[in-house]
């Protein structure tokens, strides 16, 4: 648990007015007054009061206006559609007055401007037009629901150490939590009519599942300190040499993160070959953030920003609309107006149970220690000069400065947004309220993204640094607790000892769990391996243990298919033995075509092996049985036995 310094998340202010816009307006007014009339100086008090009234309830208003101006589209198209509009295709200056008097084709803003990706320069590295470099991993995450608090805190401390190690480097981390719906069906005809009918009815009834997919992106800006003019003066050969050096540095960062993220089941995204074409799962993820639709992105000689963005985007004051070739989706944005006073590991876990689709985006740009010290001292000085009554905040700033100086924490520029998606506007309102209530319950105050909706949406893309709304300083400890990389374990769908998972079960979070009875590793092909299969079902009387076991027995019947066995298997036959109590599973066993034996005191069971006919085969069987029984626990058979 760590203290969150709310004062660091607010813009620097003088008497309640953000300093930068106040000084800008004052400076412009003074210059205009000098060149025109000194009487304009009398407007300064009025301007101050107006600006103070604008920021009384929303201290970040001018920040939101600034990012809106960077993503406001083109006025002509915006007036025509009644919303801020971005089209997927760039048109020429074509006059279409015959069909539309309001505009020409090139008067629509395009998505291309907001796609900061140019090409792959390595299997796992994407380059931007400004030579920024990006690597992305998909993470399985930490299965928090079955871990102790100590174990979860240990994982958070490790992640904190990783983030802190990049202090002062030109690196930005993006963490995305994508909650989306999916369907799956593991049904296979087994040849048993009863089992096949139950299996078909089960998968027809379960409907949609929801899952959380975690992604971490590291953005490296090797030339951020160079002036644009200096870069332009470089020769092409020198630029290429500089880029080669930057790529080597990026690969070192990737190697460090590969090792550190292995505990989260990390898988780097990158290029792959399918047929004679090369595709990129990394660019496909960025395309998903932009259009909320997964599609393959092919890697060609054409810049990535020319082939991505296959959807039209419309932003109104409250919600947005995505028009794909095969449908329409709606979304709303939520931002955080005020965080809770403290952060803790797992404080955001309740959102993993939300019955709706969303994408949470958090970014963290690492600051140098000196830069962070200046920010803390500036905030403390402004609190004191403004006679702010929050004495505890000034004390917390002193503690933060001490922790920063001793190297226990680092600081960075942080932003947080949630985009909630729905197929209809009616359900979108309910889903947004669901997320808003969940945030309120953990002490976070959400507000709708209205002014900054278009900018916040584009800021989901790693690399759109100047579009991030409500950006403020945050400690590394707060960041890793807000983005703890917690998730649910999904099980293993295929390549288990018996092949495909036995069944897909629904969890309390609405997620799907691929149940296997064997101990199996997620990233390893263990088909036909003889792994331990010690599965235990616990529950009170009447909780459904017998029902679950009979369901498993039904789902196991698909493993009786010959093609479910290894080609090397000598016997391709499924045999199950069910030890039942109080005849709870009798009906199910008989429906499956099995034989059900009852053990009744005083009645013959017919199980005595010595009652078998004295054939040669039966005698050999009894000898082998006795030998097995006599040699248990390491015993040996002596001549006297």
pLDDT digits (tens, 9 = 90+) for 187-223: 999 999 999 999 999 999 998 999 999 999 999 998 8
456 with 66: CB under 8 angstroms? no
Over residues 468-496, mean pLDDT: 93
Question: Phi and psi at residue 156, in whole multiples of 5°?
Answer: -65, -40
CB-count burial class (<10 Å; 0-12, 13-18, 19+) for 70:
middle
Alpha carbon separation from 139 to 146, 216, 286, 425 (Å, rounded): 18, 7, 16, 31
Pick from 283, 302, 242: nearest CA to 124: 283
- 15 φψ region: left (φ > 0), alpha (ψ -120 to 50), beta (else): left
Over residues 492-511, mean pLDDT: 92
Residue 290's DSSP bridge partners are none
The pLDDT value given to residue 567 = 85
Structure tokens at 77: 């198209």
Q: Per residue in 540-587, pLDDT tens?
A: 988 999 999 999 999 999 999 888 888 888 888 898 999 988 889 999
User: pLDDT-based confidence at 102, cuts 50/70/90?
Assistant: low
Sign of the Cα torsion 362, 366, 371, 376 reads: positive
d(CA 305, CA 527): 42
Q: Per residue in 384-440, pLDDT tens?
A: 765 555 677 788 888 999 999 999 999 999 999 999 999 999 999 999 999 999 999
User: Which has more confidence, 40 or 212?
Assistant: 212
**What Rg, from alpha-carbon coordinates, does the chain have?**
32
Given the structure tokens 């449908």, which residue do they identify?
A: 327
Over residues 612-626, mean pLDDT: 91
Structure tokens at 54: 């604008």
CB-count burial class (<10 Å; 0-12, 13-18, 19+) for 196:
middle
Domain spans in the chain, listed from the N-terminal domain onward: 2-72, 115-367+410-487, 368-409, 608-641
Question: Phi and psi at residue 295, in whole multiples of 5°?
Answer: -150, 155
User: pLDDT-based confidence at 60, cuts 50/70/90?
Assistant: confident
Residues shown for the chain? 641
CB-count burial class (<10 Å; 0-12, 13-18, 19+) for 512:
buried
Question: Has residue 518 got a pLDDT over 80?
Answer: yes
Over residues 351-377, mean pLDDT: 95
Q: Per residue in 593-608, pLDDT tens?
A: 999 988 888 888 888 8
Question: Has residue 459 got a pLDDT over 70?
Answer: yes
DSSP state of 511: -
Angle between helix 61-70 and helix 43-55 axes, rounded to 10 deg: 90
The pLDDT value given to residue 83 = 92
The pLDDT value given to residue 183 = 93
418 with 357: CB under 8 angstroms? no
Over residues 620-631, mean pLDDT: 88
The pLDDT value given to residue 390 = 61
User: pLDDT-based confidence at 493, cuts 50/70/90?
Assistant: very high
The pLDDT value given to residue 103 = 65
Judged by DSSP in three states, 250 sits in helix
Question: Has residue 463 got a pLDDT over 80?
Answer: yes
Given the structure tokens 């629509």, which residue do they identify?
A: 108
86 with 313: CB under 8 angstroms? yes
333 with 457: CB under 8 angstroms? yes
Give one DSSP letter per residue of 171-228, joined into a string.
EEEEEEEEEEEE--------S-HHHHHHHHHHHHHH--EEEEEEEEEEEE-TTTTS-H
> Going by DSSP bridges, is the β-strand pair 472-475/342-343 parallel, antiparallel, or unpaired?
unpaired
Q: What is the largest CA-CA distance in the chain?
A: 124
The pLDDT value given to residue 462 = 97
The pLDDT value given to residue 228 = 58
User: pLDDT-based confidence at 457, cuts 50/70/90?
Assistant: very high
Question: Has residue 224 got a pLDDT over 80?
Answer: no
Contacts 24+ apart (CB under 8 A), 248-253: 249/220, 249/222, 250/122, 250/125, 250/133, 250/135, 250/220, 250/222, 251/122, 251/125, 253/135, 253/171, 253/218, 253/220
The pLDDT value given to residue 641 = 58
The pLDDT value given to residue 230 = 72
User: What is the residue-averaged pLDDT of the chain?
Assistant: 89
Question: Has residue 235 got a pLDDT over 90?
Answer: no
The pLDDT value given to residue 51 = 84
Alpha carbon separation from 361 to 155, 215, 465, 639 (Å, rounded): 21, 10, 13, 75
Instruction: Average the pLDDT over each of 35-44, 92-101, 179-188, 496-505 and give the range with the smallest value.
Output: 92-101
Share of the chain above pLDDT 90, in %: 60
């Amino acid at each position: 648990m760590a203290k969150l310094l709310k004062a660091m998340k607010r813009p620097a202010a003088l008497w309640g007015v953000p300093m930068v816009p106040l000084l800008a307006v004052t400076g412009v007014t003074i210059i205009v007054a000098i060149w025109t009339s000194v009487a304009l100086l009398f407007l300064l008090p009025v301007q101050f009061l107006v600006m103070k009234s604008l920021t009384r309830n929303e201290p970040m208003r001018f920040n939101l206006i600034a990012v809106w101006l960077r993503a406001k589209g083109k006025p002509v198209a915006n007036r025509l559609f009644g919303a801020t509009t971005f089209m997927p295709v760039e048109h020429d200056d074509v006059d279409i007055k015959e069909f539309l008097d309001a505009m020409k084709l090139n008067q629509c803003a395009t998505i291309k401007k907001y796609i900061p990706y140019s090409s792959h320069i390595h299997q796992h590295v994407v380059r931007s037009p400004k030579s920024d470099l990006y690597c992305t991993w998909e993470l399985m995450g930490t299965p928090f629901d079955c871990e102790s608090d100590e174990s979860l805190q240990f994982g958070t401390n490790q992640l904190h150490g990783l983030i802190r190690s990049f202090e002062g480097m030109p690196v930005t981390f993006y963490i995305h939590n994508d909650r989306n719906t999916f369907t799956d069906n593991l049904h296979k005809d087994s040849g048993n009519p009863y089992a096949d009918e139950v299996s078909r009815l089960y998968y027809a009834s379960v409907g949609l599942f929801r899952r959380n997919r975690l992604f971490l992106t590291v953005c490296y800006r090797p030339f951020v300190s160079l002036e644009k003019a200096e870069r332009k003066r470089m020769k092409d050969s020198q630029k290429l040499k500089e880029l080669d050096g930057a790529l080597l540095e990026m690969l070192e960062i990737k190697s460090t993160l590969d090792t550190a993220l292995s505990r989260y089941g990390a898988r780097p995204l990158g290029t792959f070959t399918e047929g004679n074409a090369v595709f990129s799962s990394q660019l496909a993820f960025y395309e998903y953030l932009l259009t909320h639709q997964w599609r393959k992105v092919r890697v060609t000689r054409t810049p990535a920003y020319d082939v991505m963005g296959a959807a039209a985007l419309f932003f109104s004051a409250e919600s947005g609309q995505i028009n794909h070739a095969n449908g329409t989706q709606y979304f709303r944005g939520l931002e955080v107006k005020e965080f809770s006073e403290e952060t803790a590991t797992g404080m955001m876990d309740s959102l993993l149970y939300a019955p709706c689709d969303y994408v949470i985006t958090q970014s963290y740009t690492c600051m140098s220690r000196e830069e962070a010290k200046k920010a803390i001292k500036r905030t403390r000085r402004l609190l004191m000069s403004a006679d702010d009554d929050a004495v505890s905040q000034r004390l917390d700033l002193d503690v933060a400065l001490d922790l920063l100086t001793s190297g226990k924490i680092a600081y960075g520029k942080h932003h947080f947004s949630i985009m909630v998606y729905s197929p209809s506007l009616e359900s979108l309102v309910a889903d947004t309220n669901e997320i808003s209530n969940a945030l309120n319950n953990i002490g976070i105050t959400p507000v709708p993204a209205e002014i900054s909706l278009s900018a916040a949406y584009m800021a989901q893309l790693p690399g759109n640094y100047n579009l991030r709304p409500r950006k403020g300083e945050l400690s590394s400890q707060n960041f890793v607790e807000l983005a703890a990389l917690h998730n649910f374990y999904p099980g293993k769908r295929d390549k288990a000892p018996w092949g495909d998972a036995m069944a897909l079960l629904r969890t309390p979070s609405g997620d799907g769990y691929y149940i296997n009875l064997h101990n199996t590793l997620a990233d390893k092909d263990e088909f036909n391996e003889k792994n331990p299969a010690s599965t235990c079902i616990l529950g009170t009387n009447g909780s459904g243990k017998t029902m679950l076991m009979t369901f498993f027995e039904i789902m196991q019947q698909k493993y009786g298919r010959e093609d479910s066995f290894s080609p090397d298997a000598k016997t391709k036959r499924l045999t199950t033995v069910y030890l039942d109590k109080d005849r709870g599973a009798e009906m199910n066993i008989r429906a499956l075509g099995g034989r059900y034996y009852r053990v009744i005191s005083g009645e013959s069971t017919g199980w005595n092996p010595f009652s078998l006919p004295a054939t040669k085969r039966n005698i050999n069987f009894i000898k082998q049985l006795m030998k097995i029984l006599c040699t248990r626990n390491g015993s040996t058979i002596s001549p006297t036995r």
